[in-house]
């Protein structure tokens, strides 16, 4: 049975494309952060793979690319918004580029041997019309999309030079209805004809599809090329007048603190789980274990360097005496801690303090098998044995 890999196939246009392919008899491998809602597509016709493009899973895509039955790849996952540049937190910039550009190109690299081969392979990516011209009020999104559309344009020439008929289709629409991406609800019936159109272009192995090109976007692009500045001013005002700006804060900032002596799997579990629940993780490191009446083996600066090198951590800071003081500095939305702190005087106090500040305290299961204290004890006992042996 022919199989298709749809990255972002649980929602929006990705879901509509999945449905259209299933109706044509394909089996669909859906990659995404959430499963499609039950009953929307027949459960026997697809398999769901958890994938977060901010935490790239090379193994998953490698496995899918190695499956000879997979003959089509469609990448529809994407994020971005209409907002002034200053409304973007640096974590949001990172997320937009990771999802729309870097991870998308990585997936294409992993499938590239299949695309470059002489066998039929169909590939499509959701670009955006904003990748083809300046987009004030969507500057970060436009920059990320410009990256992907330029990449596709370039690599299609390499494919042609390589002698294959396969191409990568760049689908570059403007606003379209029926997708949650633009704030509405997923509406598959509205998107079905668009999904069919996209698939026709994918199966024809074309290189670019700009919906409504003849009637609208040919002229829009011409206006942009004639006078980008004039076009940009108009475009900015148009977005403003249509009330589409969303300058609200979009990222979830997380905070946690600890001593992190003798870095171990309990620490790593905590950091990983925390990063899964925020966009930007700040970790405060205590300068010593004195407050717990414990000695530390690893110097403060080294413990900070180790935490800073962990891929789940965005920023390392010196901890404050209290996590409530740290909030004055970092204005985090979530405070993470191991469940060993639940019910302690310190956290009961924090629960009260944060109750009216919109800060959620998240307790993660304490990893029972280890702790810095256990490691210290084991090492000390072993050292004693060695000394006795001598
Ligand atoms: N933590 C955890 N599981 C462990 C150890 C620590 O979830 N096995 C969490 C703690 O709940 C805390 C954070 O990691 O939120 C930092 O804890 P830290 O005091 O540095 O680690 P411990 O190993 O518990 O240190 P010690 O044994 O010295 O108390």
User: Strand, coil or helix: what is 70?
Assistant: strand
pLDDT at position 20 is 98
- The CATH number, out of the four listed (3.30.300.130, 3.20.20.210, 2.40.30.270, 3.40.50.720), of the domain defined by the range 3-241: 3.40.50.720
Give the C-alpha separation, 210 to 221, whole Å: 11
Give the C-alpha separation, 195 to 164, whole Å: 25
Give the C-alpha separation, 35 to 31, whole Å: 9
pTM for the model stands at 0.86
Q: Is the pLDDT of residue 387 over 90?
A: no
Angle at 79 between CA 107 and CA 142, to 5 degrees: 95
Token pair 């392979």: residue: 121
Give the C-alpha separation, 6 to 29, whole Å: 6
* Least confident span in 145-149, 203-207, 375-379: 375-379
Contact 279, 251 (CB under 8 A): yes
Token pair 């171990």: residue: 264
Query: Which of 157, 171, 175 has its CA nearest to residue 209?
Result: 171
What torsion, rounded to 10 degrees, do the Cα atoms 177, 183, 187, 190 define?
A: 0
Q: Which of 24, 165, 292, 382 is catalytic?
A: 292
Q: How far is the CA of 362 from the centre of ligand 1 (A)?
A: 15
Question: pLDDT digits over 297-341, tens only?
Answer: 999 999 999 999 999 999 999 999 999 999 999 999 999 999 999
* Same fold yes or no, 3-241 and 253-380: yes
Question: pLDDT digits over 45-85, tens only?
Answer: 999 999 999 989 999 999 999 999 999 999 999 999 999 99
Q: Give the list of residues 6+ apart from residue 350 with CB closer than 8 angstroms, or none.
A: 323, 324, 335, 361
Ligand 1 pocket check: which of 256, 259, 274 to mutate, most ligand atoms within 8 Å of Cβ?
259
User: Strand, coil or helix: what is 172?
Assistant: coil
Q: For residues 363-375, give the mean pLDDT.
A: 92
pLDDT at position 384 is 75
Q: Is the pLDDT of residue 249 over 90?
A: no
Ligand 1 pocket check: which of 258, 264, 277, 298 to mutate, most ligand atoms within 8 Å of Cβ?
258
Give the H or E element holding residue 380.
helix 372-389
Ligand 1 pocket check: which of 261, 266, 298 to mutate, most ligand atoms within 8 Å of Cβ?
266
Task: Please report which confidence band the pLDDT of residue 40 belongs to, taking 50, 70 and 90 as the band edges.
Answer: very high
Give the H or E element holding residue 32.
strand 27-32
Give the atom of ligand 1 at the shortest distance from the alpha carbon of 259.
20
Q: How far is the CA of 255 from the centre of ligand 1 (A)?
A: 15
Residue 294 annotated in active site: yes
Query: Which of 342, 333, 347 has its CA nearest to residue 366?
Result: 342
Contact 118, 217 (CB under 8 A): no
Task: Please report which confidence band the pLDDT of residue 292 belongs to, taking 50, 70 and 90 as the band edges.
Answer: confident
> According to the CATH classification, is domain 253-380 in 1.20.1250.20?
no
Give the atom of ligand 1 at the shortest distance from the alpha carbon of 286.
20
Give the atom of ligand 1 at the shortest distance from the alpha carbon of 270.
7
In this structure, the strands spanning 208-209 and 3-7 are unpaired
Share of the chain above pLDDT 70, in %: 96
Would you list the domain boundaries of the chain?
Answer: 3-241, 253-380
pLDDT at position 185 is 64
Pocket lined around ligand 1, Cβ cut-off 6 Å: 258-261, 266-267, 270, 289, 292, 294, 337-338, 340-341, 366-367, 370-373
Question: pLDDT digits over 200-241, tens only?
Answer: 999 999 999 999 999 999 999 999 999 999 999 999 999 899
Residue 357 annotated in active site: no
Give bridge partners of residue 208 from the DSSP assignment.
170
Token pair 């000695």: residue: 295
Mean pLDDT of the chain: 94
pLDDT at position 179 is 57
HEC-encoded secondary structure of 110-162: HHHHHHHCCCCCEEEEECCHHHCCCCCCCHHHHHHHHHHHHHHHHHHHHHHHC
CA distances to 37, 255, 289, 295, 297 from 303, rounded to whole Å, are 44, 17, 12, 14, 10
User: Strand, coil or helix: what is 290?
Assistant: helix
Q: How far is the CA of 366 from the centre of ligand 1 (A)?
A: 8
């Amino acid at each position: 049975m022919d199989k298709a890999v749809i990255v972002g196939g649980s929602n929006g246009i990705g879901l509509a494309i999945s449905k259209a392919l299933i109706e044509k008899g394909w089996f669909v491998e859906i990659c995404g952060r959430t499963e499609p809602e039950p009953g929307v597509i027949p459960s026997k016709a697809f398999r769901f793979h958890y994938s977060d493009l901010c935490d790239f899973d090379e193994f998953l895509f490698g496995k899918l690319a190695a499956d000879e039955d997979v003959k089509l790849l469609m990448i529809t996952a994407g994020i971005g918004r209409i907002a002034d540049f200053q409304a973007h937190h640096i974590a949001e910039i990172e997320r937009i580029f990771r999802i729309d550009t870097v991870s998308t190109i990585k997936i294409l690299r992993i499938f590239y041997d299949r695309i470059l081969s002489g066998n039929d392979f169909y590939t499509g990516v959701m670009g955006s019309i904003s990748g083809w011209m300046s987009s004030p009020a969507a500057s970060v999104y436009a920059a990320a999309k410009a990256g992907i559309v330029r990449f596709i344009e370039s690599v299609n020439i390499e494919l042609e030079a390589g002698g294959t008929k396969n191409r990568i289709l760049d689908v570059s629409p403007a606003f379209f209805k029926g997708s949650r991406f633009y704030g509405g609800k997923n509406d598959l019936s509205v998107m079905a004809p668009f999904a069919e159109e996209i698939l026709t272009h994918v199966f024809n192995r074309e290189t670019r599809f700009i919906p409504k090109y003849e009637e609208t976007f040919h002229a829009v692009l011409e206006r942009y090329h004639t006078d980008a500045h004039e076009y940009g001013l108009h475009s900015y005002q148009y977005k403003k007048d249509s009330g589409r700006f969303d300058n609200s804060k979009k990222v979830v900032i997380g905070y946690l603190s600890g001593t992190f002596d003798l870095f171990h799997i309990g620490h790593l579990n905590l950091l990983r789980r925390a990063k899964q629940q925020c966009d930007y993780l700040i970790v405060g490191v205590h300068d010593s274990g004195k407050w717990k009446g414990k000695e530390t083996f690893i110097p403060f600066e080294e413990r900070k360097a180790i935490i800073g090198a962990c891929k789940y951590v965005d920023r390392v800071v010196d901890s404050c005496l209290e996590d409530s003081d740290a909030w004055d500095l970092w204005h985090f939305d979530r405070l993470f801690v191991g469940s060993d702190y639940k019910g302690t005087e310190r956290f009961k106090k924090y629960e009260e303090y944060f109750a009216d500040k919109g800060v959620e305290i998240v307790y993660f299961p304490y990893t029972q098998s280890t702790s810095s204290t256990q490691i210290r004890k084991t090492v000390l006992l072993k050292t004693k044995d060695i000394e006795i042996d001598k």
